[in-house]
């Protein structure tokens, strides 16, 4: 945790530091709400020179947590779920991006979107049916699926409505683009399983169906199925969570989240798409002329600064690392640029290795905050040369009602007190 | 000549056998055949052309009763929306600053309305309605939108024949569409 976090414990420490700094600078020129970076001794029973209480008695015994949980001091780091949703059966919950480091999302914080609730599926009674334009229609048990040669790959998943184009945009990085997560996925390439059934001539699409109460159905172009699509049973080393499709899901790296059908029970090979509700009535992108774009699969290049970001506060002048994440459904991130002056000039951020295709890439830029208000933002450039656009550039083409696939640059405004707020609000 | 033909036929046969053997070797032999009955039980997809629509029919009148019982809690008495989507109206609004997307104004195909209602509605008990009732509710929603008359009875053939107002309203994905270099 850093001084940017809203964690209560750290806030307390910051407050103490501020009070002490204020006392030290009494009669001086302290800026209201922001302490100087002067190092001052702190006071507390667990602070030096005292011996902290947790060293004076043994800790919890082995086995007190058979499945580990985060520290009790991290209780606030949970999924961001609105308390005012019209309903919770078909709804979404967001990853607290601004609280996380690196590129891997912990399984318990992975974003969720379901259309008919989260089913409780007995893997012994789950089957995958593969039929349609194949030589041999097949049924697989989960044991069958795990017998195939396996692969593990790191990819992001992102909901296509992340965020919408209209206000209110929200306050935090999670409010804005929290329907985004990244994991290491293990499963079998879909192509391997399709070869087992034998595709027939004229096979152009595969309709994937979930075993949830929405029986969610999406059509996937055959090219994607034969490229990097996977049937996934594990996420970050453990079996999928129910919220992520336990026991089996489709993974289509770089394609919009809902196509990565969870609780996968059926693959039907066909000549034309199903034109299902989720690819006509929903997940089509309305344009100002009244038409709507259909089959908008790819998540285009995007980035966001997660620290400092909305809802956080810089409590000291001086050195701060600006960090965030970038990703593209079209491949690897080539570079990320950061602007500290409302987009007038841009500088290269450092990319943290590994830079993987269709995965989150962590970027960093060292920064010295002198206490003057600033607007900071990042823009991603992917290996196709595509440059993340501004919201104005997107809206000029798509209008305000397009709903899906908003990959705009997002600015954060930092005021003289160090408060960080949404630069578009 | 006959001998040469025979030889050629033998060669073709041998190559085909080899190819089949090679293909079999590429496979892992994992999974078991899906039976026609298993496939029929799970394959409830309805094509946009109405393919795979089941036998049976349903009237607007019957649909009104089923809707009142099963749908109004979320979609409102007359499909005006609530916790669930608005289903009625909005025709002519798609190019306006406040587009209203409903079954009547937005859905491109009528048979996929049957598909969705049968597979996912009502939300608290999906796949519980009879095929007749799914036809009836589909007919009722279409009639609320002025797409079929109030005395309509829909079956596989007549539902497939319904032309939705926004059938031609969808375009393919032109992205990248923002020119910012």
Average pLDDT value for residue range B139-147: 98
Separation of alpha carbons A382 and B75, rounded Å:
43
Q: Residue A217 and residue B45: Cβ atoms within 8 Å?
A: yes
Kindly tell me if the per-residue pLDDT of A117 is higher than 70. Answer: yes
Q: Residue B120 and residue A401: Cβ atoms within 8 Å?
A: no
Q: Beta-carbon neighbour count of residue B17 at 10 Å?
A: 10
Rounded to the nearest integer, the mean pLDDT of chain B is 91
Residue B84 token pair: 């669930």
Q: Residue A116 and residue B174: Cβ atoms within 8 Å?
A: no
A248-257, A335-344, B21-30, range with the lowest pLDDT? B21-30
pTM: 0.90
Kindly tell me if the per-residue pLDDT of B81 is higher than 90. Answer: yes
Residue A368 token pair: 């010295």
What ipTM describes this predicted complex? 0.89
Residue with tokens 């049916």: A129
Determine the residue of chain B that is closest to A85 in CA distance. Answer: B83
The more confident residue out of B12 and A308 is: A308
- Testing the interface with A: which of B120, B121, B138 to mutate, by most A Cβ within 10 A? B120
B161 membership: H or E segment, kind and range: helix B156-161
Q: Beta-carbon neighbour count of residue B142 at 10 Å?
A: 26
3-state secondary structure of A339: strand
3-state secondary structure of A28: coil
Separation of alpha carbons A251 and A362, rounded Å:
22
Kindly tell me if the per-residue pLDDT of A231 is higher than 80. Answer: yes
**CB-hemisphere CA count at 13 Å for B24?**
6
Interface subset of A 167-226, CB within 8 angstroms of B:
192, 195-198, 207, 209, 213-217
Task: State the pLDDT at residue A116.
Answer: 97
**Cβ atoms of A362 and A306 closer than 8 Å:** no
State pLDDT tens for residues A308-358.
999 999 999 999 999 999 999 999 999 999 999 999 999 999 999 999 999
Determine the residue of chain A that is closest to B128 in CA distance. Answer: A213
Separation of alpha carbons A241 and A4, rounded Å:
30
Left (φ > 0), alpha (ψ -120 to 50) or beta: where does A27 sit?
Answer: left
What is chain A's percent helix, strand, coil content, to nearest 5? Answer: 15, 30, 55
Q: β-strand A292-293 against B170-171: which pairing, if any?
A: parallel
**Cβ atoms of A394 and A351 closer than 8 Å:** no
Separation of alpha carbons B113 and B107, rounded Å:
8
CATH of A91-277, picked from 3.90.420.10, 3.30.420.40, 1.10.579.10, 1.10.150.310, is 3.90.420.10
Residue with tokens 């926004």: B166
Put simply, whether A362 touches B (Cβ < 8 Å) is: no
State pLDDT tens for residues B103-118.
999 999 999 999 999 9
* Gap from B149 CA to chain A (nearest CA, Å): 23
* Gap from B11 CA to chain A (nearest CA, Å): 25
Residue A336 token pair: 């990320």
Task: State the pLDDT at residue B179.
Answer: 80
Separation of alpha carbons A287 and A200, rounded Å:
37
CATH of A302-422, picked from 3.30.160.110, 3.90.550.10, 2.60.40.650, 3.20.20.70, is 2.60.40.650
Kindly tell me if the per-residue pLDDT of A376 is higher than 90. Answer: yes
Kindly tell me if the per-residue pLDDT of B74 is higher than 50. Answer: yes
Kindly tell me if the per-residue pLDDT of A27 is higher than 90. Answer: no
Whether A91-277 and A302-422 share one fold: the answer is no
Distances (CA, A) of A68 to A62, A75, B24, B81: 11, 14, 46, 44
The domain segmentation of chain A, as residue ranges, is 91-277, 302-422
Task: State the pLDDT at residue B26.
Answer: 75
Q: Of A328, A376, A323, which Cα lies nearest the Cα of A350?
A: A323
Q: Is the peptide bond before B8 cis (omega within 30 degrees of 0)?
A: no
3-state secondary structure of B62: helix
Rounded to the nearest integer, the mean pLDDT of chain A is 92
Which CATH architecture fits B56-161?
Answer: Orthogonal Bundle (1.10)
Q: β-strand A180-189 against A249-251: which pairing, if any?
A: unpaired
The more confident residue out of A378 and A14 is: A378
State pLDDT tens for residues A122-154.
999 999 999 999 999 999 999 999 999 999 999
Task: State the pLDDT at residue B21.
Answer: 52
Distances (CA, A) of A231 to A138, A211, A268, A273, B78: 15, 15, 14, 20, 42
Q: Residue A290 and residue B32: Cβ atoms within 8 Å?
A: no
Residue with tokens 């997809």: B45
- Partnered with residue B170 across adjacent β-strands are A292
Residue B44 token pair: 């409830």
Q: Residue A276 and residue B32: Cβ atoms within 8 Å?
A: no
Determine the residue of chain A that is closest to B171 in CA distance. Answer: A293
In chain A, the percentage of residues whose pLDDT exceeds 90 is 89
State pLDDT tens for residues A54-82.
999 999 999 999 999 999 999 999 999 99
Q: How confident is the model at residue A33 (pLDDT cuts 50, 70, 90)?
A: low
Ranges of beta strands (E only) in A115-204 are 128-132, 138-140, 151-158, 180-189
Interface subset of A 24-53, CB within 8 angstroms of B:
none
Average pLDDT value for residue range A372-397: 98
Q: Residue B34 and residue A275: Cβ atoms within 8 Å?
A: no
Average pLDDT value for residue range B119-130: 98
A39-53, A132-146, A177-191, B42-56, range with the lowest pLDDT? A39-53
Which member of A195, A292, A387 has the closest CB to residue B181? A387
Average pLDDT value for residue range B123-132: 98
* Gap from B5 CA to chain A (nearest CA, Å): 30
Q: How confident is the model at residue B180 (pLDDT cuts 50, 70, 90)?
A: confident
Identify all chain B residues contacting A216, using CB atoms and an 8 Å cutoff. 120
A56-65, A366-375, A376-385, B6-15, range with the lowest pLDDT? B6-15
Task: State the pLDDT at residue A96.
Answer: 98
Task: State the pLDDT at residue B19.
Answer: 53
Kindly tell me if the per-residue pLDDT of A1 is higher than 50. Answer: no
Task: State the pLDDT at residue A12.
Answer: 44
SS3 track for A36-61: CCCCCCCCCCCCCCCCCHHHCCCCCC
A1-10, A359-368, A400-409, range with the lowest pLDDT? A1-10
Residue B35 token pair: 């039976």
Average pLDDT value for residue range B155-165: 98
**CB-hemisphere CA count at 13 Å for A365?**
25
């Amino acid at each position: 945790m850093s001084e940017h976090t809203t964690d209560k414990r750290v806030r307390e420490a910051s407050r103490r530091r501020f009070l002490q700094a204020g006392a030290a600078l009494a009669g001086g020129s302290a800026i209201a709400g922001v302490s100087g970076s002067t190092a001052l001794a702190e006071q507390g029973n667990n602070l030096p020179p005292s011996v902290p209480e947790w060293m004076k008695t043994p800790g919890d015994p082995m086995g007190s947590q058979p499945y580990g949980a985060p520290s009790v001091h991290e209780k606030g780091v949970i999924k961001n779920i609105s308390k005012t949703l019209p309903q919770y059966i078909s709804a979404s919950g967001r990853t607290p991006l601004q609280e996380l480091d690196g590129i891997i999302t912990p399984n318990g914080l992975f974003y969720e979107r379901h259309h008919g609730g989260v089913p409780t599926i007995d893997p012994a009674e789950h089957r995958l049916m593969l039929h349609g334009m194949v030589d041999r229609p097949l049924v697989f048990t989960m044991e069958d699926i795990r017998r195939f040669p396996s692969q593990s790959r790191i990819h992001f998943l992102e909901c296509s409505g992340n965020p919408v184009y209209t206000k209110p945009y929200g306050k935090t990085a999670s409010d804005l683009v929290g329907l985004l997560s990244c994991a290491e996925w293990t499963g079998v390439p879909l192509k391997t399983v399709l070869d087992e059934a034998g595709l027939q001539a004229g096979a152009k699409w595969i309709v994937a169906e979930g075993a949830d109460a929405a029986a969610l159905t999406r059509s996937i172009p055959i090219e994607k199925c034969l490229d990097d699509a996977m049937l996934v049973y594990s996420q970050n080393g453990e079996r999928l969570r129910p919220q992520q499709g336990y026991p089996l899901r489709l993974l289509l790296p770089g394609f919009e989240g809902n196509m990565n059908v969870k609780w996968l029970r059926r693959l039907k090979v066909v000549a034309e798409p199903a034109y299902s509700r989720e690819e006509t009535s929903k997940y089509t992108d309305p344009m100002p002329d009244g038409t709507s774009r259909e089959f908008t699969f790819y998540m285009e290049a995007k980035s966001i600064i997660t620290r400092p970001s909305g809802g956080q506060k810089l409590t000291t002048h001086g050195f701060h690392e600006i960090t965030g994440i970038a990703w593209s459904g079209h491949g690897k991130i080539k570079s990320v640029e950061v602007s500290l002056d409302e987009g007038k000039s841009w500088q290269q951020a450092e990319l943290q290795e590994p830079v993987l295709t269709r995965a989150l890439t962590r970027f960093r830029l060292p920064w010295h905050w002198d206490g003057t208000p600033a607007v900071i933002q990042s823009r991603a450039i992917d290996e196709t040369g595509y440059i993340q656009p501004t919201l104005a550039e997107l809206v000029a083409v798509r209008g305000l009602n397009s709903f899906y696939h908003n990959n705009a640059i997002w600015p954060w405004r930092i005021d003289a007190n160090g408060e960080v707020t949404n630069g578009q609000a | 000549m006959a001998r040469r033909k025979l030889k050629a036929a033998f060669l073709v046969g041998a190559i085909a056998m080899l190819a089949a053997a090679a293909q079999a070797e590429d496979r892992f032999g994992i999974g078991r055949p899906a039976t026609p009955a298993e496939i029929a039980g799970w394959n409830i997809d309805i094509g946009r052309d109405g393919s795979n629509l089941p036998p049976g029919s349903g009237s607007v009148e019957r649909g009104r009763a089923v809707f009142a019982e099963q749908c109004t809690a979320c979609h409102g008495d007359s499909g005006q929306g609530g916790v669930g989507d608005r289903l009625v109206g909005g025709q002519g609004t798609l190019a306006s600053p406040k587009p209203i997307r409903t079954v009547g104004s937005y859905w491109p195909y009528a048979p996929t309305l049957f598909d969705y209602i049968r597979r996912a509605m009502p939300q608290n008990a999906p796949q519980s309605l009879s095929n007749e009732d799914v036809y009836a509710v589909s007919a009722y929603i279409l009639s609320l939108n002025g797409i079929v008359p109030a005395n309509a009875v829909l079956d596989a053939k007549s539902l497939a024949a319904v032309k939705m107002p926004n059938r031609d309203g969808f375009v393919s994905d032109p992205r990248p569409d923002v020119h910012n270099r």
